């Protein structure tokens, strides 16, 4: 698929078929993240891919429970309106790629933290376009923000005693996630702002 076509074809997919995703497919997707640009070439990213059903359900439950435990708490629910529905999506998608950063704390006053977020954005977009190119559906997820520490602790605990024990540590912050799998819904094109609204060219 041509790049332009992949950019036009990509859309957020929120329903997935149960078809399994192979490790080779995951390697291909993450390989495109590995090649992404990053500030100072620091490659401030780590990816944990969850294909196991139990763990996917656990992650989904952590997200859904955030809503159930906080739905009457206006402060906690600010910006978290879709956390439950995103949890439902994670419950049924065949693979979840959790994206961690090396930054201890995302602090927008620090250039390296902003750069880490931007670099990881580039890596995730590479993965989204690659998944689209492979004919898969995908969804970029930031609702993990509301349960980022709980999810990171959950993953740390899962890796304990395995060969991946030191793959991530408490300093690796969970920044976002990506759902990927065979799309269970047709492509849906969402509206965009016009060029006039978003571009200004200063020419001489």
Binding site for ligand FMN (CB under 6 A): 11-12, 14, 82, 86, 139-143, 190
Are 176 and 142 spatial neighbours (Cβ–Cβ below 8 Å)? yes
Closest among 72, 32, 68, 74 to 147, alpha carbons compared: 68
Residue with structure tokens 């004919």?
135
Distance of closest approach, residue 133 Cβ to ligand FMN, in angstroms = 16
Q: Which is nearer to ligand FMN, 32 or 86 (CB)?
A: 86
| Rounded CA separation 87/54 (Å) | 14
Pairing between β-strand 95-101 and β-strand 45-50 as defined by DSSP bridges: antiparallel
Q: Minimum CB separation from ligand FMN for residue 35, in Å?
A: 20
- Closest separation in Å from C-beta 143 to ligand FMN: 3
Number of other CB atoms surrounding residue 21 within 10 Å: 20
Of 21 and 127, the one with the shorter C-beta distance to ligand FMN is 127
Nearest distance, CB of residue 140 and ligand FMN, angstroms = 4
- Residues paired with 12 in a beta bridge: 138
Nearer to ligand FMN, 113 or 143 (CB): 143
E strands in 43-172: 45-50, 95-101, 137-141
Instruction: Tell me the three state secondary structure of residue 118.
Output: helix
Nearer to ligand FMN among residue 140 and residue 167 (C-beta)? 140
Q: Kindly give the pairing relationship between strand 95-101 and strand 137-141.
A: unpaired
Q: Is the Cβ of residue 139 or residue 147 nearer to ligand FMN in the bound state?
A: 139
- Contact between 166 and 39 under an 8 Å Cβ cutoff? The reply is no
The least distance separating ligand FMN from the CB of residue 148, rounded to whole angstroms, comes to: 12
Nearest approach in angstroms of CB 177 to ligand FMN is 8
Measured from the CB atom, the residue of 12 and 65 that comes closer to ligand FMN is 12
């Amino acid at each position: 698929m041509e790049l332009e076509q992949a950019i036009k074809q990509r859309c957020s997919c929120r329903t997935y078929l149960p078809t399994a995703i192979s490790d080779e497919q995951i390697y291909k997707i993450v390989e495109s993240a590995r090649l992404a640009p990053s500030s100072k070439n620091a490659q401030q990213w780590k990816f944990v891919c969850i294909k196991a059903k139990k763990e996917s359900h656990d992650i989904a439950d952590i997200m859904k429970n955030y809503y159930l435990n906080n739905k009457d708490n206006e402060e906690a629910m600010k910006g978290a309106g879709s956390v439950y529905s995103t949890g439902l999506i994670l419950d049924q998608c065949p693979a979840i790629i959790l994206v961690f950063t090396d930054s201890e704390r995302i602090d927008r006053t620090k250039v390296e933290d902003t750069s880490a977020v931007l670099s990881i954005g580039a890596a995730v977009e590479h993965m989204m376009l690659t998944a689209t190119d492979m004919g898969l559906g995908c969804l970029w997820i930031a609702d993990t923000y509301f349960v980022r520490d709980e999810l990171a602790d959950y993953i740390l605990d899962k890796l304990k005693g395995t060969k991946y024990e030191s793959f991530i540590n408490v300093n690796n912050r969970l920044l976002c996630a990506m759902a990927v799998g065979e799309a269970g819904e047709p492509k849906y094109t969402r509206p965009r702002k016009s060029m006039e609204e978003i571009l200004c060219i200063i020419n001489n």
